[in-house]
């Protein structure tokens, strides 16, 4: 999927005026980041993520989102993607944890065939079994680049606890 398609999904939200998707290639794995400006009202990160999850597969929901007052413009009158990327890199670790929780929750929902999974929902209480566990651990390896034993999922069965565990492994 092209960034333009993700931008289009963002623009489908009635409050979004402009949408920008950029790739952050600074880390080991490239990440999609998105920023929007609003036409009216207020909108929080969670509302925007819910909207995106209803229009995109979980793997395509940007890792970080930011709501800007206005789009930064270069002297040539074009959108300054580097300024947007810099603004998105400022997102603190708490937001990164929240984003990871949501990605894991989305993946759990997809694996379990549920419409939605919340950060404190237990994978196994919602129907997860050994086969689904293997799929979840495989997704973590493939999408996040983190090797986990299946036992980690039993010890950290909610998206929130699993996200914190993964981040602790990465530090």
pLDDT one-digit tens code per residue, 21-44: 888 777 666 777 788 887 888 887
pTM: 0.54
CA distance 22 to 25: 9
Partnered with residue 66 across adjacent β-strands are: 35
Provide the angle, in degrees to the nearest 10, between the axes of the packed helices 159-170 and 93-112. Answer: 130
3-91: CATH topology: GMP Synthetase; Chain A, domain 3 (3.30.300)
Q: Which helix (H) or strand (E) holds 34?
A: strand 31-38
User: Cα–chain-centroid distance for residue 5?
Assistant: 16
Q: Indicate if 98-170 has the same CATH topology as 3-91.
A: no
* Mean pLDDT confidence for 37-58: 83
The domain limits of the chain are 3-91, 98-170
Partnered with residue 37 across adjacent β-strands are: 18, 68
Domain 98-170 CATH superfamily: ACP-like (1.10.1200.10)
CA distance 24 to 76: 23
- The pLDDT tens digits for 104-146 are 998 999 999 998 788 899 999 999 999 999 999 999 998 888 8
């Amino acid at each position: 999927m092209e960034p333009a398609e993700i931008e289009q999904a963002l623009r489908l939200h009635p409050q979004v005026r402009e949408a920008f998707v950029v790739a952050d290639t600074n880390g080991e794995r490239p990440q999609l980041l998105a920023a929007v400006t609003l036409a009216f009202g207020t909108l929080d990160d969670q509302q925007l993520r819910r909207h995106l999850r209803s229009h995109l597969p979980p793997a395509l929901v940007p890792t970080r989102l930011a709501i800007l007052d206005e789009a930064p413009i270069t002297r040539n009158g074009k959108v300054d993607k580097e300024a947007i990327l810099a603004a998105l890199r400022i997102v603190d670790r708490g937001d990164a944890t929240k984003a990871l929780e949501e990605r894991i929750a989305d993946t759990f929902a997809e694996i379990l065939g549920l419409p939605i999974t919340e950060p404190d929902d237990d994978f196994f209480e919602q129907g997860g079994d050994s086969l689904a566990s293997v799929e979840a651990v495989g997704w973590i390896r493939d999408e996040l680049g983190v090797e986990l034993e299946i036992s980690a999922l039993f010890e950290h069965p909610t998206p929130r606890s699993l996200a914190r565990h993964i981040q602790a492994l990465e530090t």
